Amino acid sequence: MEKVQGKYETLFIVDPSLDEAGIDAVVNKFSDLIAANGTVEKVDRWGIRQLAYAIDKKADGYYVLINFESEPDFTPELERIFNITDGIMRSIVVRLDK
């Protein structure tokens, strides 16, 4: 039996105090991880934006939005990796369809 693929998007905020190479490394790490477990449809780098509230005494963050398709059992693992990765300030994974 085939596993059902779902459409998801993830938005994560990278610490802007990292240099440009550090931010690129974090973004590439997650886009490669998603590509290995599904299909990356779009990587949208929003750049540095002001946060609604300070996180770790920082007022800005580097926003990245990735649209992808994967199996439902991959998303908890993705969230776990977001939580243990240095440089990630916040993240969310949302399913787009049912």
Q: pLDDT tens for residues 21-54? A: 999 999 999 999 999 999 999 999 999 999 999 9
Q: What is the DSSP string of 16-84?
A: TTS-HHHHHHHHHHHHHHHHHHEEEEEEEEEEEEEEEEEETTEEEEEEEEEEEEE-GGGHHHHHHHHHH
The answer to whether residues 19 and 37 touch, using CB atoms and an 8 Å cutoff, is no
Q: Which DSSP letter does residue 93 get? A: E
For 6-95, CATH gives: 3.30.70.60
Whether the CA torsion 15, 21, 27, 32 is positive or negative: it is negative
Judge whether residue 17 has pLDDT over 60: yes
